[in-house]
Amino acid sequence: MRSRLNLLVKFIGPGPGPRQYIQRCPETNTLPLDHRRHISAYGYTQAKALVYPKHGSPSDVLALHTHSISPPHSQLLTLRTLAAPLNPADINQIQGTYPTAPPFTSAIGTAQPHAVPGNEACFEVLSAGSACKHVSKGDWVIPRRTGLGTWRTHLQVEEDQIMKVDNTGLKAEQVATVSVNPVTAYRMLKDFTKLEEGDWFIQNGANSGVGRAAVQLGKTWGLNSICIVRKREGTEGETLKREMQELGATVVVSDEEVMEKGFGERVKEWTNGGRERLGLGLNCVGGDAGMAMAKVLDAGGTVVTYGAMSRSPMRVGAGMLIFKDLRFLGFWVSRWGDRVPEEKKQTIDEILGLIREGKFKDVPMVEVPWSWETEKEDLLDAVQGTLDGFRKGKGIFKFGDT
């Protein structure tokens, strides 16, 4: 047996950790799986993370940091990231313009406190401490709350910081993107006014991640939708219209059509002469566009604002409040989810169930590969693409051999 083995090979893992001596496999001359780069013989996991020491432009402040993670104990878990999306809110946190942000710490061995960006992800449990009760090696988990810092290959967290998900029939990118946009759409359709089967809602930014989710959920629940999208010329506009209708949109119109005189009469035609209730508006644009949408709501209707892409204020006329009794409310899914994590988990499970049943489709995605050899510049280009908005779908880090 000894004659078939190679000589002992010295292996020193990057970063802090014990010096080890391991044997290579005689047939393939490769290291055993649990001795390759990411896990040493003593259980140390090598990790890389995008980090920033201060707020600013991502291209100026982001760096790629390499560090080691010690074996988990007690209620600690060591996780490997499978997929992590790049959301506009993540960029805003780096810039320092978002209401919340991940903490600046030296927990991963940086010389000065740094923060790790990213709020959504799908992780695989690599190892668990002896006191962990609800998850085990191989399980898929997602962050329980925002601010975990997900743009990294591996991390170590307490068990109560994550939620276990059933990954049966699911892809990592589906799980990684479920907790923000689909949950936002679900809660806005359910929590602000009671919509019966056959009722209508109207939304701007309808081809966004939230908008696409709202269309599909609405169709599942028997709701009709008026979907407003930015005007596109020629075949691009027709293609988007067909795409939205295939998802379940009842009516698709451009933002310019909404501003035209007579739009209210068109809405009456669509809603059977106004006999079918149009009671909810979902607003991510704001400004005059948001108010034009509010004007066509039935008396007693509700406008829920979850974004402000136009960066313009909404000027609510007194008549809307007095004579139409409209309500104007806001929704921030991060605050909601942090306040009621168990209800968030139930919502996520229901949406994942719809994905398994083929009733809920992914948003278009642009995968950004991240392996151990990936250079910082490639990752920063992906972040810049999210900032510039020049992408055909949601950017998502897809982790390979890390």
CB atoms within 10 A of CB 116: 23
> In the numeric block, which tokens belong to residue 83?
């997929």
Q: Which of 44, 98, 186, 306 is catalytic?
A: 98
Closest CA to 47 of 38, 55, 56: 38
3 state SS of 216: helix
- Give residue for tokens 């994905």: 355
| Burial tier of 284 (Cβ tally within 10 Å: 0-12, 13-18, 19+) | buried
Query: Is 186 in the active site?
Result: no
Partners of 51 in the β-ladder: 63
How does DSSP assign 313-366, residue by residue?
A: -----HHHHHTS--EEEE--HHHHHHH-HHHHHHHHHHHHHHHHTT-SPPPPEE
- Give residue for tokens 């925002």: 146
| Farthest-apart Cα atoms in the chain, separation | 92
Residue 55 to residue 117: CA distance in whole angstroms: 11
> In the numeric block, which tokens belong to residue 187?
């809660």
Letter string b/e over residues 35-56, b meaning 16 or more CB atoms within 10 A of that residue's CB: beebbbbebbbbbbbbbbeebe
**Under a CB-based contact definition with an 8 Å cutoff, are residues 351 and 183 in contact?**
yes
DSSP 318: H
Which residues participate in catalysis according to the annotation? 98
